[in-house]
Structures are given as structure tokens and as C-alpha cells.
């Protein structure tokens, strides 16, 4: 089933992504029903930078953009 924007934003927020809305838009630019899309979402939820993520500086920081969990 293709992901909806709202579902994807919720999944990214649950994973601690600070820029969930922007990252969801970037991820949805890939065909949402493709294996590549699922792999990219799983990779991002695991805390790794997705290709094209402009919020990451320095370039080799992983995982990034995590909110502290209390």
C-alpha cells in the first residue's frame, strides 16, 4: 500500500526526525510503492541520512536530526 504524506510524517516524527515534513516530501518524490522507497524510509527511520537531505551539516554525521528522548 502506498504511504500517505500524513502517515509518513508520523513515522518519521516517531523516529525522532526534526524535519519530518521536508523529509517526507523528499521520500515521496520516489515512487511510494517501490522497494527503493521502502528501503529509503527504513534507512531514515534507523537514523541515517537520506540522499538529498539538506539539513545535515557536517556531511558525515549519522544518525542526525534526532530529538533527545526523555
Residue 4 pLDDT greater than 80, yes or no? yes
Residue 53, pLDDT score: 54
Which cell numbers hold the place of 42?
527504513
Q: How many CB atoms sit inside 10 A of residue 61's CB?
A: 10
Does residue 51 belong to any structural domain of this protein? Answer: yes
**Within-domain flag for 16:** yes
Per-residue model confidence (pLDDT) at position 30 = 78
Place of cell 527504513: 42
Whether the model clears a pTM of 0.75, i.e. scores above it, the answer is no
70 or 15, greater pLDDT: 15
Residue 24 lies in a domain: yes
Q: Is residue 27 part of a domain?
A: yes
CA angle, 68 as apex, 41 and 22 as ends, to 5°? Answer: 40
Number of domains in the chain: 1
Do the domain assignments include residue 70? Answer: no
Q: Which domain holds residue 49?
A: 1-65
- Residue 35 forms part of a structural domain: yes
Residue carrying the nine cell digits 500500500: 1
Query: What is residue 3's predicted lDDT score, i.e. its pLDDT?
Result: 65
Does the residue 5 lie in any domain?
A: yes
Residue 67's pLDDT is what?
53
Does any domain span residue 57? Answer: yes
Amino acid at each position: 500500500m502506498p504511504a500517505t504524506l500524513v502517515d509518513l510524517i508520523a513515522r518519521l516524527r516517531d523516529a525522532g526526525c526534526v524535519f519530518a515534513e521536508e523529509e517526507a516530501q523528499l521520500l515521496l518524490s520516489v515512487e511510494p510503492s517501490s522497494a527503493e522507497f521502502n528501503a529509503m524510509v527504513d534507512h531514515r527511520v534507523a537514523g541515517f541520512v537520506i540522499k538529498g537531505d539538506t539539513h545535515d551539516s557536517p556531511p558525515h554525521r549519522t544518525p542526525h536530526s534526532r530529538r533527545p528522548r526523555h
